[in-house]
């Protein structure tokens, strides 16, 4: 008997999410010692000292269950964003929240809209439910909101917008998103995924829209600019009605005690965030200059990574980079077979990556 036949059809058809290659895996497979990983948009500057101190303190309470309501973290977030704590849903990473949203609103008869080249988790969570996937062709590698609006039908339940988008780093201007929200029917849920919003300039603009659009859900995370990817904390901001639904559905203790304690500390560490943004801006410039020198084109990015067009089969270059101990991210699965996505690292890491890229391109000729 084939056990796969026992699974729900929509699950049996799923392809697993492919994460960036872990450093230890490359060390095991290739015997390379000095590995740098620029593959998962992680913070290159390590966690905030305040977060580390909070974790040390919080270890004392590890025999107890975490606060299932996440009171203190929600309080801190509510204060920062000038919202009611009842508008917040905490997640085990924002991936958790994205899945909760899909499970909360989407059934197999519904359609879910997302953009070409958008974050892989959107089709994944929608497909798991057996919903119809509607992928709208991108415009200049980014979201084409006009086309996405035109793709809405009476069956549309959910629209995902990543801003900035991963893996392309493209950005849709606030006024365009606002216009989109105004134009679409209010029974369509819009998920605005702002995992990289802190790297931009107008961080809090979108949150004002929650007052006007009860069908809007904004997702954010501590994994990127706040440097806590390993702990898994993300959150959704929404109308209280939606937050109430999501909070009914989530697991009672979906975010652990160490993670919440560190997130509260990280949220208060403004210096860390400024340093993260500064290092990112400088690294971005370093890559742009490096790509220009190598004659490579790239997709302009507002995030902490950049997609470069290596003008050849990118899988070969990826492999050659691995051999030199540099892990980046192939994005052929996103419909970008000649691009590689590189997370912005520290100056010496970026330097090594650019050199390895130059070597790899020369070898590939």
Ligand X SMILES: *Cc1c(COP(=O)(O)O)cnc(C)c1O
Enumerate binding residues for ligand X (CB under 6 A).
Answer: 41, 93-95, 119, 162, 166, 193, 195, 221, 223-224, 229, 234
- How many angstroms separate the first and last alpha carbons of the chain? 49
In the complex with ligand X, the residue whose CB is nearer, 124 or 134, is 124
- 39 preceded by a cis bond (ω within 30 of 0): no
CB of 228 to ligand X, least distance (A): 9
Q: Which residues contact 296 (CB under 8 A, 6 or more apart)?
A: 308, 309, 310, 311
For ligand X, the nearest residue by Cβ is 93
The residue written with tokens 């989530």 in the block is 250
> Which residue is it, tokens 């070969």?
316
**Which of 277, 311 has the CB closer to ligand X?**
277
Q: Is 227 or 325 the residue whose CB approaches ligand X more closely?
A: 227
Q: From the CB of 47, what's the least distance to ligand X, in Å?
A: 14
CA angle 196, 81, 60 (to 5 degrees): 85
Query: At its nearest, how many Å lie between ligand X and the CB of residue 122?
Result: 9
For ligand X, the closer CB: 116 or 223: 223
Shortest reach from residue 117's CB to ligand X, in Å: 11
Q: Check if the beta carbon of residue 225 is closer than 8 Å to that of residue 277.
A: yes
3-state secondary structure of 168: coil
Task: State the Cα–Cα distance between residues 345 and 42, nearest whole angstrom.
Answer: 9
Instruction: State the minimum distance, in angstroms, from the CB of residue 282 to ligand X.
Output: 21
Indicate the residue among 226 and 272 with the shorter CB distance to ligand X. 226
List 136's β-bridge partners, or say none.
115
């Amino acid at each position: 008997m084939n056990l796969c036949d026992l699974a729900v059809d929509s699950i049996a058809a799923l392809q697993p999410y492919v994460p960036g290659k872990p450093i230890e895996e490359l060390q095991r497979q290739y015997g390379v010692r000095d590995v740098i990983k620029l593959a998962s948009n992680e913070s290159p500057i390590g966690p905030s000292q305040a977060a580390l101190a909070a974790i040390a303190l919080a270890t004392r309470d590890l025999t107890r269950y975490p606060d299932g309501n996440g009171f203190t973290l929600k309080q801190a977030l509510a204060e920062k964003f000038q919202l009611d704590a009842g508008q917040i849903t905490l997640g085990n990473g924002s991936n958790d929240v994205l899945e909760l949203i899909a499970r909360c609103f989407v059934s197999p008869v519904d359609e879910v809209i997302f953009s070409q080249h958008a974050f892989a988790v959107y089709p994944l969570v929608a497909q798991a439910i057996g919903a119809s996937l509607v992928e709208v062709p991108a415009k200049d590698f980014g979201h084409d909101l006009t086309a996405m609006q035109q793709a809405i039908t009476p069956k549309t339940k959910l629209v995902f917008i990543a801003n900035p988008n991963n893996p392309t780093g493209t950005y849709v201007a606030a006024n365009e998103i606002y216009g989109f929200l105004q134009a679409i029917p209010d029974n369509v849920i819009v998920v605005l995924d702002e995992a990289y919003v802190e790297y931009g300039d107008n961080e809090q603009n979108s949150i004002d829209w929650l007052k006007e659009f009860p069908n809007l859900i904004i997702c954010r995370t501590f994994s990127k600019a706040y440097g806590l990817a390993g702990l898994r904390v993300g959150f959704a901001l929404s109308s209280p009605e939606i937050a109430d639904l999501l909070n009914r559905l989530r697991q009672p203790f979906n975010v652990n005690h160490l993670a919440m304690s560190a997130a509260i500390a990280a949220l208060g560490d403004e210096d860390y965030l400024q340093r993260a943004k500064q290092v990112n801006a400088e690294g971005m410039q370093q890559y742009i200059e490096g790509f220009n020198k190598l004659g490579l084109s790239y997709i302009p990015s507002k995030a902490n990574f950049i997609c470069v067009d290596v003008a050849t089969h990118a899988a070969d270059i990826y492999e050659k980079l691995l051999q030199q101990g540099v892990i980046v991210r192939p994005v052929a699965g996103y419909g970008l077979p000649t691009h590689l996505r590189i997370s912005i690292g520290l100056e010496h890491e970026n330097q090594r990556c650019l050199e390895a890229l130059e070597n790899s391109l020369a070898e590939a000729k």
